[in-house]
Amino acid sequence: MIKISQLTNQGTINFNNNKITISTLTSTNNEIENSVSLNFNNDLKLIENDISRVKQLTENYKNSLNGWIQEESIELQNLWAEKRNPGLNQYLKQLSEWTNKTVSNIIYDSNINNNFNEMVISKCKSLNNLMFVIETDGGNIFGSYHTILPPKPSQWILRDKGHFVFSLVNPYGTKPVKFTPIIDECYPLWFYKSTPSLFCVQSFCHISTNKQCYINSKEWSGKSFNETYNDTVGKGGNIFTKTVFPSHFGLKRLVVLTWR
């Protein structure tokens, strides 16, 4: 126990452990002692409780704010994607519904960058939920979606339960339509090592940087489009450009997006 007394002209201050007693003198003849006791332990506990409560309120506010920011961020990112995707913006909502994802991010646009290998293939190990959107020199727009990517070029992915192909604009004027595989091993994606060839979806399409693109036929891939995909339109591979291999078309634009 430590006890220290200090005399002042106004009275005394006594220190005893964690307790302070202040005795003051009045200016009258009669001395009246007023004691004020402060218990440091209790006060510290009260302060700690207050701090804890403030921290919890702050955390609740932070979580609420983060939720709002995330919602706004999704909206802003989609608006920004629309700005960057002239010709595709009107389809983003439909593509979002098909993928069951809300945010798209462009990682490659042939109108801006012509190095497909560097922008896409070299990053395969860190990418997923990849979408190709192809615009042909004839004005048709179609593409494919992949949740599993080849670890390196010249290697097939055999299965991908999340894979599908789609048509947005076609020669028959149908509404945007999605086609899902009806067989397990549909060989949904292959990357070529070098240009002009870019990638291939076995029973769907072969895409290159020159005018040697084509919709794959049974003659080329061994299976026709409607043997691999659920052909709800009944046009087979012709739905995309009205022709299949050996007929070719040119690539006007290729956009590659990731979804989350």
**pLDDT tens profile 124-151:** 778 889 999 999 999 999 999 999 999 8
- Name the residue range of residue 97's domain: 87-259
pTM of the model: 0.67
Report DSSP state, residue 232. S
Q: What is the pLDDT of residue 233?
A: 96
Q: What is the pLDDT of residue 19?
A: 52
In tens digits, the chain (260 residues) has pLDDT values of 444 444 444 555 555 555 555 555 444 444 444 444 556 677 777 888 888 888 888 888 877 777 676 656 655 655 565 555 556 788 999 999 999 999 888 889 998 888 888 888 887 778 889 999 999 999 999 999 999 999 888 889 999 999 999 999 999 999 999 999 999 999 999 999 888 999 999 999 999 998 999 999 998 888 999 999 999 999 999 999 999 999 999 999 999 999 99
d(C-alpha 187, C-alpha 204), whole Å: 10
**219 and 151, same structural domain?**
yes
- The domain total for the chain is 2
Does residue 62 belong to any structural domain of this protein? no
CB 222 within 8 A of CB 166: no
Assess whether 30 and 155 both reside in one domain.
no
For residue 137, being part of any structural domain is answered with yes
**Do residues 37 and 104 share a domain?**
no
Beta strands in the chain (DSSP E): 3-8, 11-16, 19-24, 34-39, 104-109, 130-136, 141-146, 164-169, 177-179, 190-191, 197-201, 205-208, 214-215, 251-259
Whether 154 is covered by a domain: the verdict is yes
Q: Could you tell me if 153 and 227 lie in one domain?
A: yes
Report d(CA 192, CA 213) in Å as an integer.
13
* 246: preceding bond cis by omega (within 30 degrees): yes
